[in-house]
Structure 1
Amino acid sequence: MNIGFIGLGVMGAPMAGHLVDAGHNVVVFNRSRAKIEQLELRGAVGATSPAQVGEKADVVITVLPDSPDVDEVLFGAGGVLTALRPGSLVVDCSTIAPESARDFAARLADRDVAFVDAPVSGGEAGAVAGTLAVMMGGEKDAVRRAGEVLDATAATTVHVGPAGAGQLVKAANQMLVAGNIAMVAEAVSLLLRTGVEVDAALTVLNGGLAASKVLEVKAPKMLARDFVPGFRVDLHHKDLKIALSAAEQARIAVPLTGVITQLVQALRSAGDGGLDHGALIKALERLNGMSPDSP
């Protein structure tokens, strides 16, 4: 299959690599040339613009930071739509506002191009392992086509509704992840303050009802002060704002998400926005007069 891939960041680069390894013809574009060169060594073809990706591909996948980035890559001067053929498919694996996904779907439909919003969950580890969960919104046939491509990068691909539905499910996902990280950070802070054998405590917690992927993965990194970004605080803040906006439009209260968003904002205000979202423990440590820079 002729696949275009735009956005070779923490998530995009390994996803594109899996598509190459699966035997697809993959043309890639990224603002950083170095990322393109790394994929070229694995067999991908480098492009010099989004338009060149559109010219060479039947399916274009984007993994970009936010709605304006996707808009520019698709519809801007030199964008994908200047060269993409009718009957093609755009699969956006970015995390963006649901209303943006619906808007993109409508604008692409006017050009006889199908669109699927397909945000992913699983973090860098899931992208590298090819075990992502993908929540897809769009028309049934477009979702089927997208699933055939994304199977190389994912363990779970699910059609969750019309265009924009994937982004709504991703918003819920980000609420759950942020809430879990916050509670793990609070629990670890308590264990550290009270002198418990922390490693033993985590072993038993991971064996009971409190067990979670977040507890398993993030707690050891919190203890080791390892905040190398697998998913940056700044991006999670953006996602939580999307969730809050969606909740407002649905006319429901999400008070816990609001509080956690404020904790995340406190991290950003302290200059920690580029750290992994597990650094949320630092905001709690500051609240409690604990040193945020020592175990």
Structure 2
Amino acid sequence: MKVGFIGLGTMGLPMVKNILAAGFDTYVVSRSRPPIDEAVAHGAKEAESPKELIEQVDIVLTCLPLPQTVVDVYEGDNGLVAGATEGKIVIDHSTVSPELNKQVSTSLAAKGASFLDAPVSGGPMGAKAGTLTIMCGGDHDTFTHAYEVLNVIGDYVVHVGQTGNGSVIKLINNMLVGVHTAALSEAYVMGEKAGVNPAVLYDIIKKSSGFSKSMDWSVDAILDRQFEQRFSVKLLHKDMNLALDLAKGLDIPVQVATLAEEMVSKAKKEHSDEDVSAVIRPLEEKTGVVVKRWKDE
């Protein structure tokens, strides 16, 4: 199959490199010049627009930061829908609402094309290693046809039911990331102020019942005060709001997640482009406590 990829960000570019390394003829489109040049240097071909890209390939993967970016790429005279024809497969790895997934799927189906919502988890490290978890909603036959490509970028690729189900699972996952990150921020600040070495606190909790993978993600960033983004506070905030909207539409009260969203929102005001581990910083500023690696370690 010829593969197209749109969105060469911190996730998309390493995903494209893995697709190229697997031998697929690959076309790319992205808003920024440097990642296009890097992809081309690894063997990709550049298309001028989403419409031109889908006309050249059998399957298109998109990995975009915001719902509006998805709308921009899929709709319009130069969008994917405009160029879609019978038999094309389009897969969106973006984190958006299931309603947007269904809207896109309907538009593509009118052109004879198939769609999967396939959000990913695993961060930039998983994207580079080709070990992403990929949750795919949509027609099972489409999933089967796309599996050859998806298996290159993920090591746990699962069909999860109807269109939109992949996004439901991803939004619940990221809602939990927000909850866990907010809670562990309180835990680290509490331990530090009580006189506990935060590295020891982490080590003990990792071997105990209170552990979550969010602690692995954040521990070195917090202790070394290195908050360069891997997954930014502003994107976590976007995802949590999508999850809260989903819960509201289902008439499900999510009180803990709502409180966590408030903490993420506070962090976004001053630390929007920093890593999600920076959710701890407003609480540190409020309490006068800085959680960092102890000198005698």
- So what's the TM-score if we normalise by structure 2? 0.94
CA-CA distance at 1:135 after TM superposition: 0.9
Quick one: percent identity of the two aligned structures?
Answer: 35
CA-CA distance at 1:217 after TM superposition: 2.6
CA-CA distance at 1:201 after TM superposition: 2.6
CA-CA distance at 1:32 after TM superposition: 0.7
CA-CA distance at 1:291 after TM superposition: 5.3
For residues 63 and 159 of structure 1, the distance between their equivalents in structure 2, rounded to whole angstroms, comes to 18
Partner of 1:163: 163
CA-CA distance at 1:161 after TM superposition: 1.4
Question: Does 2:207 match 1:204?
Answer: no
Amino acid at match of 1:36: I
How many residue pairs get matched?
294
Does the 8 Å contact 2:189/2:291 carry over to 1?
no
CA-CA distance at 1:294 after TM superposition: 10
Moved more, 103-112 or 79-88: 79-88
* TM-superposition CA deviations, 1:165-201 (whole Å, max 9, x none): 1110011100111111112211111222122122223
**Aligned-residue RMSD, C-alpha:** 1.7
The correspondence of residues 1-295 of structure 1 with structure 2, limited to 5 A, is 1-269=1-269, 271-290=270-289
CA-CA distance at 1:218 after TM superposition: 0.9
Q: Secondary structure at the match of 1:91?
A: strand
Amino acid at match of 2:46: G
Amino acid at match of 1:11: M
Does the 8 Å contact 2:198/2:291 carry over to 1?
no
For residues 226 and 145 of structure 2, the distance between their equivalents in structure 1, rounded to whole angstroms, comes to 39
Does the 8 Å contact 1:54/1:82 carry over to 2?
no
Does the 8 Å contact 1:282/1:292 carry over to 2?
no
Amino acid at match of 1:5: F
Amino acid at match of 2:128: V
CA-CA distance at 1:2 after TM superposition: 0.3
Q: Secondary structure at the match of 1:229?
A: coil
Q: Secondary structure at the match of 1:35?
A: helix
CA-CA distance at 1:80 after TM superposition: 2.1
Amino acid at match of 2:274: L
Q: Which runs of 5+ in 2 are unaligned?
A: none
Does the 8 Å contact 2:171/2:243 carry over to 1?
yes
Does the 8 Å contact 2:223/2:292 carry over to 1?
no
Q: Which runs of 5+ in 1 are unaligned?
A: none
